[in-house]
Amino acid sequence: MSDETKSDDRPPLTPAARRALEEAAARRAAAAQEAAERPAEQGGRNGPEPVRYGDWEVKGIATDF
C-alpha cells in the first residue's frame, strides 16, 4: 500500500518511516519463507505456539509459568 493511494489527510511518510516499513515487510516475508520450508508438525497443537505468548492454554484455561 503506498501513500499515494490513500484518501485520508495523513502527512506523507518520512524516509525513515518508509524504510522501517520496508524492513518490516522484508522480515515478515523471510519469516513466512522460513516457516514454509520447515517440515509440517505431526500431532501438534493447532494455531500459534503458546510459549510465544508466555502462557499455555488448554480447553480455554490459560496457565502462566
The reported pLDDT for the residue numbered 42 is 77
Cα radius of gyration (the chain):
19
The reported pLDDT for the residue numbered 61 is 72
Q: Which residue has the higher pLDDT, 63 or 1?
A: 63
Question: Each residue of 5-48: pLDDT tens digit?
Answer: 556 788 999 999 999 999 999 999 999 999 888 887 777 667 66
Taking the whole predicted model, whether its pTM rises above 0.75 is answered as: no
Q: Which residues contact 13 (CB under 8 A, 6 or more apart)?
A: 3, 21
The reported pLDDT for the residue numbered 50 is 59
Q: Calculate the CA dihedral of residues 18, 22, 24, 30 and round it to 10 degrees.
A: 180
The reported pLDDT for the residue numbered 35 is 86
